[in-house]
Every structure is written in structure tokens, then in C-alpha cells.
A and B are shown apart, each in its own frame.
Chain A
């Protein structure tokens, strides 16, 4: 009897106990602020100098204000979403390609690169520098009298107004983000590739597959879960882009508000007049956009993986192991 009882003893309660600290922190630091943001977005609540206005319940007025076209017929929040996405894509696409390439080179059994640890450290390094310091550095480098323009002048070119031109300004911001994050992405992708069973690569090479075939038939499909994770986290980080453009453009999204990101927009409402109503509404919109885009990325990329899982489930249901 006693042995039978022992068999049914469950240790799973310890599992729950161990995850309590996380959930407590999560509820207080993330979930409650999340709901309070929704709540705040329905109020008029700001400071006019030293005078507090509100909070007065205004329903959806903040959202209506956000989505009302201005006198030129533009819905600003959509413009800023576009700015943010453009700058993210400008940085994220080259970053993914570059990181993937580096990850493959570093993990390649054929190449056996020496000094891997050194390179890994070096490419990760930019991530340790503060974004604002990076922004200041590039601001100085590309200013009208900065080293880059001095070089251009020395080679006989005209001074380029990097921060006065929409695409150079966006490009520089994207480049900073690229530089800061490609090391991080490379390391994640390397971990993903190293997680793939080496025997598959060996089998492929025995079968005479070339590197391109190995990449597209083995590495990429099996890397998908990590790739999805990398893209979604990068997307979320991209939507929250703030410090670099804020510093480079003095908070006004020069030139002509073309580098104004969603969070800069939010910050403008929040920083001086503590406008919790409007910034709450923007936060909720950013939340929804992030949710939709993450879902979209997930759905489009995990299709193949999905069918594989279903097959496995079917097999499991049949009792095949």
C-alpha cells in the first residue's frame, strides 16, 4: 500500500512554488502597469505648468484625437508608425543577413575559424555602449563639420547635410541600431545553429550537398524557431526605438518629422506636461500594433513548423512512438 501511495506523490507543487517569485514580480511590475495604462488612456490628465488638470474621464476622446487627420489630411500616429517601421527594416534586414552569415561562418565545421571567442566578444561589444553615447558619436561624426564631411571635402566632394536629408538621417539611425544589435543576433543564431544535430550536416556532405544546399535545406528550416524569436524580439525592440533618434534629432524628428518614432511621439506628450491620458492612448496603440505585427510574423513564418507538429501530434494520438 505504502509504495503505491508514494507513486502518486506529486512533486509538481515545487514547480509552482519556484515560479511564484517571477509571477509576483510580473504582476506588480508588468501586468498592473499594463492595465493602468489602459485605464489612464480614458482620462484627461496632465499638468499645465504647476497646475494639475484632471484626471477627468473622457472616454475615447484621446483615441479620437490620435486618429483625427490634421489639416494636411495625415493621421500622424500612422506616419510615425511608418517612420518607425522604415527605420527598423532599414536596420533589421541587413542585420539579419549579416548575422546569419557570421553565425554560419563561425559555426562551420569546415572552416573552423580560430579565435572565435575573441570575435564573438568584439562583435558583441557595441551592444555594451550606451545608445545615447552611440548617438552622440554618430552625430559628431556625420555633422556638417565632422570627420566624415571633412573626408568628403578632402576628396573634392560637397558637404553632405546628413541630418538634413530624410534618407541619410533615417539611414544613420538604422545603421546605429544595426551596429548595436548585430552581435546579439549573431550569438542567438549561433546558438540556434549549434543546436542542430551535427549528423545532419555530415549526412548532407556525404550525400554531396554544397554549402548553399546545406544552408537552404538544413540550416534554415531547422533554425526557424530561433529565427522567429529573433525577428519578433527585434520587431518589438524596433517599435520601441527611441534613444538614438531622440538624441540625434533633438526630440523633434528632424528633418520634417521624418525620423519621429512612436515612442518619441509618446515622450513628447509625457515629458513636459505629464500628459498621461494621451501617452496612455499612444501606448495602447503601440501595444496593439506590436501584437498584430508579432502575430503576423509568427503566422507567416511558422507554417512549415506547424504542420510538422500536427503530424507529430497525429502520430502521438495513434500511439506511435
Chain B
């Protein structure tokens, strides 16, 4: 009997060891530029088989010659530099999705003998940041080939890295400082002393993306200028939402859809100088709007990335407006681009009620990298190399961080995006990009921005009072960030 009692206690003691567990969702894949002799570190080459240019191991082996051919072809336009002896043979890039990886593999020629290692963790719930932080904190003791060489960061948390010693001043490794870069992308990548820690390969002014056919029915026109005139402020936007509802449509597909427009136009940061949590008036405005929109059924009770919302992008979808920058319809609207069920060409963009930007991918150099030359080469390739930038616009529908190239396409009367029914989106973004300011950012932004709407959903649905929703949000902040003081 004593023994059994002991067994029960021992079993309950294992509760505590739970704390040590952590799930590991890291996915790693490798890309080879040639067949390096020291291939032992390469885990699995077949993982790149999804890339059309790299079919299998055997084609990887003679990739260097293929790459040489490709430079004359359209697909490869990288620089293909020869690195000095001191450079490492393994290049580790941390990222949270496949977007940049796709462009990198298509347009950048990896120097001979270097293996590129992508460590991709999803950004949901801050997982990407957690994994990246862990790697950076261990950077000093990691073996040269295991060190983070370059990592990607998003507008929501880039300040955490730029203002730390874990990122390199890239002017010291030969990254060209260009006048053609948008000023906000440069200030976002600068630390408090003005040292520039990285570059962005895209500029992300965001727009209102609407369905032409639905706009015609609701507003009587699908012309971007006329649509814009009918919803250029929030009052008009709400009026149009009522009209859309009367015609049997939803104004937006998610109660979080407009959140970034508000959170991007706040007058204060999430936390003040004394680390007190601040709920800005713009955020309060969002809360009021989301409640109103859900009550009146102008929108759906689902999150920005929910399947229910993206299903509305199909031809038979009932949602008129989506909010996002160029990357949004390239990367997150695949349902709309579906050849059978989608409705490519039935879309257009205009500025919408309020100017804002959302996201953006910055490339940052990690302190301690053993591949500084290659880091600099990649950064230069995706900002200064006009060939690559042109391809990003033409083939990928991107809005690049090179004003000269953007302007060229904006001025080209024959240029248009087929997805947007031939509309020249670059011309619109050139105008919108002038309004972007990078301000009021903190290192806590990602989770605060993503979870506030999530936590408030109970209130929006009418299950709890607004006061209780605030309490739940404060509690969430307390748990996640002990350093923030909540009311």
C-alpha cells in the first residue's frame, strides 16, 4: 500500500518535468549550388524537389553550369560572385515562411560551393521570434557552420533586433546605401544611433483590394478612382458596408480585416517610456468598428488567416473588400488565383479609407556570421540589382524597394497586373508609398497586434462586456510580457 502511494506521488512528480518540454516545429531544408565535397552536413536534398529548377540530386550536382546558362535566361539574374577563402560553406537563413525563399531560389545565384540552409518556423503565436531569439542568444557559442548568417524580420518586431548587438551594421560589410530605397525601410532597419542593420527587399504600402464584379453591383462602378471616391473615409466606408449588405454581400471577410489600418495610424506606441501598456485611440476606434460591423453583419466572425475567410476569395465568394499590400494578393490570395474556382482579373485596388502599411520583410545580418560577403551580396542583389527588382515586379507582382525600378513600371502605360484586371498597381503604390511612416513601434507589437482582436472576439460576439474583454487582454499581456505594466 505504501508502495502504491509512492507510485502515485512519483507519477504526479512527472507533472513538473512537463515544464521542460517544448514542441519543435522547425523545418529545415537545404539548397545546394553545387555538389560540395563536405556534403555530410546536408540532411536531405530531396526536400527541395518542389523547386522546378532543382529536380533531384543529380541535377543539383551540375547546377553550376545550369546556373551559368540561366543568367542569360530570365529566371536567374543573381550575381554569382566568387567568395574569398575566409567565407563559410554553409549559409543559414532564418525565415517564417517560403515567400523570400521562393524569390531567392529563382533569382539569386548562390556562390559556388555554398550550401544554403533555410530554417523556417511559422510566425504564429510568436514562434518564429522565440526560435530566432534562441539561436541568436547561442550565436557566440555555435559552430561556424551553425551560426545564423542572415535572418528575416517583419515590421512588427524588427526594432527588437535592430536595437540589439545581435545584428551587424551592414555598411561595414559592403552593403550599398541607396537613394532609391524608401526612407521608411531604411529608418526601420536603423538602430537608435543611426547604424543601418539591414535592408528590405519590398516596400509595403497597403491598399483596399476589392472585387470588381461586386463593386459594380454595389457601387455601380468598378473604376478604382470612382470606387475610392465612394469610400475614402470611415463614415463613407460604413455607408458602403450597409449598401453591400443590402445587396447580399459582406463588406469584409474578417472582423480583423481593417485592424492594421487603425493600428498603423496610432499616435502612440503600445507601451510608453515607463513600459505602461497604452491602448491608443485608433485601437479603440477599431474595437468600436469591429463590434459594429459584426453586430450588423457587415463582416464575418473569422480571423484574417481563417479558411472561412479565404474561401470567400473564390468566384462565388460574397466578400467585397480585402485589405493588404502587394504581398497579400501574391502570397495569401491563392484561392482567388485558382484557375477553376478563383476569379483572377476580377480584382482591383485603391487606397481605401486610410493610408497604412502592413508587414514587409527585412533582411538582417546576424552578428558573428561567417559569410559577410554573401550576406552583403544578397542584400545588394535584392535592392540594387535592377534586373532582379524588375523580375520581382514583372513575374511576382511585387512592389520592390527600388524607387527607380518601381517608377519605370508605374510610368509604363502598357504595364498591368493581370490579377487586377490589367490595373497598374505599381503606379498606385508609388503614390501610397509616399505616406508611409515607420513610427510608434515596440518589440512587443506582433503578439499585441495579433491577439487583441482575438481576445476581443468574445466581446464582439456579445458574450462578455467590453470591460471584461480589456481585462482578458491585460491578463494575456501580463502572462506574455512580465515587463509591461498593465492598468
Interface flag for A257 (CB, 8 Å): yes
A40 to chain B: closest residue by CB: B19
Q: Across the interface, do A255 and B463 meet the contact criterion of CB distance under 8 Å?
A: yes
A236-291 interface (Cβ within 8 A of B):
236, 239-240, 242, 250-252, 254-257, 263, 265-266, 268-273, 275, 278-280, 283-284, 286-287, 290-291
In the assembled complex, the Cα of A185 lies from the Cα of B479 at a distance in Å of: 35
Complex partner residue of B479 from A269, A298, A306, CB under 8 angstroms: A269
Given that A33-B20, A291-B9 are known contacts, is A309 also in contact with B1, CB under 8 Å in the complex? yes
B451-468 interface (Cβ within 8 A of A):
451, 454-455, 457-458, 461, 463-464, 468
Given that A76-B475, A256-B458 are known contacts, is A236 also in contact with B12, CB under 8 Å in the complex? yes
Chain A interface, >50% SS class: helix
Q: Give min CB distance, B295 to chain A, whole Å.
A: 15
In the assembled complex, the Cα of A143 lies from the Cα of B10 at a distance in Å of: 40
Q: Across the interface, do A268 and B479 meet the contact criterion of CB distance under 8 Å?
A: yes
Which A residues are CB-close (under 8 A) to B447?
272
Q: Give min CB distance, A298 to chain B, whole Å.
A: 6
Given that A232-B11, A236-B15, A265-B479 are known contacts, is A255 also in contact with B133, CB under 8 Å in the complex? no
Write the B463-482 contact mask toward A (1 if CB under 8 angstroms, else 0).
11000100110011001111
B260-298 interface (Cβ within 8 A of A):
none
Which A residues are CB-close (under 8 A) to B240?
none
Q: Give min CB distance, A53 to chain B, whole Å.
A: 7
Given that A48-B483, A272-B480 are known contacts, is A294 also in contact with B125, CB under 8 Å in the complex? no
Q: Across the interface, do A50 and B475 meet the contact criterion of CB distance under 8 Å?
A: no
Interface flag for B174 (CB, 8 Å): no
Which A residues are CB-close (under 8 A) to B137?
50
Q: Across the interface, do B12 and A294 meet the contact criterion of CB distance under 8 Å?
A: yes
Q: Give min CB distance, B282 to chain A, whole Å.
A: 23
Q: Across the interface, do A239 and B15 meet the contact criterion of CB distance under 8 Å?
A: yes
Q: Across the interface, do B17 and A143 meet the contact criterion of CB distance under 8 Å?
A: no
Complex partner residue of B480 from A26, A242, A268, CB under 8 angstroms: A268
Which A residues are CB-close (under 8 A) to B307?
140, 143, 145
Which B residues are CB-close (under 8 A) to A30?
10, 13-14, 17
Which B residues are CB-close (under 8 A) to A31?
13
Interface flag for A47 (CB, 8 Å): yes
A30 to chain B: closest residue by CB: B17
In the assembled complex, the Cα of A29 lies from the Cα of B130 at a distance in Å of: 24
Q: Across the interface, do B19 and A271 meet the contact criterion of CB distance under 8 Å?
A: no
A228 to chain B: closest residue by CB: B4
Interface flag for B245 (CB, 8 Å): no
Interface centre among A46, A233, A272, A279 (most CB of B within 10 A): A272
In the assembled complex, the Cα of A46 lies from the Cα of B482 at a distance in Å of: 8
Interface flag for B214 (CB, 8 Å): no
Q: Give min CB distance, B383 to chain A, whole Å.
A: 26
Given that A50-B133, A272-B447, A287-B16 are known contacts, is A298 also in contact with B8, CB under 8 Å in the complex? yes
Complex partner residue of A287 from B15, B301, B458, CB under 8 angstroms: B15
Which B residues are CB-close (under 8 A) to A271?
22, 125-126, 130, 480
Given that A29-B17, A33-B17, A71-B471 are known contacts, is A254 also in contact with B160, CB under 8 Å in the complex? no
Which B residues are CB-close (under 8 A) to A250?
125, 454
In the assembled complex, the Cα of A29 lies from the Cα of B13 at a distance in Å of: 11
Which B residues are CB-close (under 8 A) to A240?
15, 18
Interface flag for B221 (CB, 8 Å): no
Q: Across the interface, do B12 and A287 meet the contact criterion of CB distance under 8 Å?
A: yes
Write the B350-375 contact mask toward A (1 if CB under 8 angstroms, else 0).
00000000000000000000000000
24 interchain pairs (CB within 8 A)? A30-B13, A30-B14, A50-B136, A50-B161, A53-B482, A53-B483, A144-B308, A145-B307, A161-B461, A164-B461, A232-B11, A239-B15, A242-B18, A250-B454, A254-B458, A256-B458, A256-B468, A257-B475, A273-B483, A278-B482, A283-B16, A287-B15, A290-B12, A290-B15
- Chain B: residues with CB nearer than 8 A to chain A? 1, 4-5, 8-20, 22, 125-126, 129-130, 133, 136-137, 160-161, 164, 166, 301-302, 307-308, 311, 443, 447, 451, 454-455, 457-458, 461, 463-464, 468, 471-472, 475-476, 479-483
Q: 8 closest Cβ contacts across the A-B interface?
A: A268-B479, A290-B12, A48-B483, A49-B443, A294-B8, A49-B160, A37-B16, A256-B458
